[in-house]
Amino acid sequence: NAEYMGQLVNVFGIDGKKTKKSVKLADVFTAPIRTDVVVSVHSLMMLNTRQPYAVSRKAGHQTSAESWGTGRAVARIPRVRGGGTHRSGQAAFGNQCRGGRMFAPTETWRKWHHKIPVKQRRYALASAIAATAIPALVEARGHVISQMPELPMVISSEVEGLTKTKEAVALLKKLHAYEDVEKSIASKRLRGSKGKMRNRRWKMKRGPLVV
């Protein structure tokens, strides 16, 4: 990242054209790109979003079953008592039985969460931010930035005066960043897994990041 040291970037106006101003790129963009640190910190952070789960302690044991013992030419697994139903005489309790409990039933006291060293977390964040200033890496992620004049793009503070969505859309179009928004809109699709039932029905690509 040596080429970014002390680099000046142009400031664009809300008309989409360059102004005469330029600003120095923030030092965070000179951080080394460490994919290994980013991946390890991110995977640990994902583990920290999990909720504990376990099967019921009673599952598979909610029947009175006893082994028939030896001498009946059947396996010694416990069997359901009684008669007059298909269930009576069926094997119970074992993990190999239909309707039995699982092997080693899960408990909620598993080690779900992992501490992440603060310095590693900060290093990963700086590294991820620095990667957003390298067009090749941004394009490799699938973002449509081929028409944008510069990356990262700095816009003058007039942009804070925009109040309507259509004004923001017009600005993104002038800066050639709207192609990436359109790519995101077109990418909306149904999730493939059970998340459909759990308020995560749709998936969508990320678009431009406005800071």
161-182 confidence digits (pLDDT tens) = 999 999 999 999 999 999 999 9
Distant-in-sequence, close-in-space partners of 99: CB < 8 Å, separation ≥ 6: 60, 63, 90, 92
Cα dist from 38 to 33, 49, 89, whole Å = 9, 17, 57
**Residue-averaged pLDDT of the chain:** 93
* 2 has a pLDDT exceeding 60: no
194-200 long-range CB contacts below 8 Å, 24 or more apart?
A: none
For residue 6, the model assigns a pLDDT of 65
- Rounded to 5°, the CA angle 103-105-109 comes to 145
Q: How far apart are CA 151 and CA 139, in angstroms?
A: 11
Average pLDDT for 140-166: 91
For residue 151, the model assigns a pLDDT of 87
Residue whose C-alpha is closest to residue 175's, from 205, 193, 152: 152
pTM of the model: 0.80
Average pLDDT for 40-46: 96
**Is the separation of the CB atoms in 54 and 107 below 8 Å?**
yes
Q: How far apart are CA 147 and CA 149, in angstroms?
A: 6
- Rounded to 5°, the CA angle 176-132-14 comes to 35
Q: Tokens in use for 100?
A: 């039995």
Quick: pLDDT tens for 3-34: 555 688 999 998 888 888 989 989 999 999 99
Residue whose structure tokens are 């859309």: 169
**Is the separation of the CB atoms in 110 and 47 below 8 Å?**
no
For residue 16, the model assigns a pLDDT of 85
Average pLDDT for 26-48: 95
**Is the separation of the CB atoms in 76 and 69 below 8 Å?**
yes
Quick: pLDDT tens for 93-106: 999 999 999 999 99
